[in-house]
């Protein structure tokens, strides 16, 4: 795939995630459907030549590592700033908040800054780094949302969710 196509894929994924975060979504850990998007992003990223700059592999790897850390932190920020609640039927839902939008803006600014630093020191970063960091963000966000949802859902101790409006027995 060309770098331009990779960037378009990243923009489409970001738009999809942003649209989903702006609406209430049920949080479930069932099935592996939530893994599809990150796996596709990783496969595309690793299939691209030039993930690391051949002229400066160590600096390029360092920059990629920082990009992945930013991706993980951004995913954690998305999950932390999302509002989580339990419905009367016991289902757990989430929705992004204004703070989530600020995390998005800060994450994008950091990524643009990293691209600028790379350009200033003469390191060519392919679009694969962006896709890997985005995959990390999505995985971390989803994992933390599922973890928060499990913590928000009261149970009787036998794995069966309690009705949220009833106290423990």
17-54 tens-digit pLDDT: 777 778 898 887 666 777 888 898 899 888 877 788 88
pLDDT value, residue 28: 79
Confidence band of 163 (pLDDT split at 50, 70, 90): very low
The arithmetic mean of pLDDT across residues 58-76, rounded, is 93
Decide if 120 is inside a domain: yes
Decide if 161 is inside a domain: no
- State pLDDT tens for residues 71-89: 999 999 999 999 998 888 8
Residue tagged 């954690």 (tokens): 76
Overall domain count for the chain: 1
Instruction: Using alpha carbons, list the distances in angstroms from residue 164 to 71, 80, 87, 91.
Output: 34, 21, 7, 9
Decide if 157 is inside a domain: no
Domain containing 96: what range?
3-151
Decide if 89 is inside a domain: yes
Is residue 153 predicted with pLDDT exceeding 90?
A: no
45, 131 Cβ separation under 8 angstroms: yes
What φ, ψ does residue 161 adopt, rounded to 5°?
-70, 140
pLDDT value, residue 156: 42
């Amino acid at each position: 795939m060309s770098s331009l196509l990779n960037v378009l894929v990243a923009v489409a994924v970001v738009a999809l995630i942003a649209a989903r975060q702006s609406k209430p979504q049920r949080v479930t850990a069932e099935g592996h459907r939530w893994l599809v998007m990150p796996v596709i992003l990783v496969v595309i990223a690793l299939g691209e030549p030039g993930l690391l700059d051949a002229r400066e592999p160590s600096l390029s790897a360092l920059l990629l590592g920082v990009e992945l850390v930013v991706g993980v932190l951004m995913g954690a920020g998305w999950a932390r700033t999302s509002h989580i609640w339990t419905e009367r039927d016991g289902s757990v839902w989430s929705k992004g908040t204004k703070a989530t939008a600020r995390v998005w803006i800060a994450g994008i600014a950091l990524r643009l800054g990293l691209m600028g630093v790379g350009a200033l020191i003469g390191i060519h970063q392919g679009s694969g780094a962006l896709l890997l960091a985005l995959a990390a963000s999505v995985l971390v966000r989803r994992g933390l949302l599922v973890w928060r949802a499990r913590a928000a859902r009261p149970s009787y101790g036998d794995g069966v969710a309690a009705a949220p409006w009833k106290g423990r027995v």
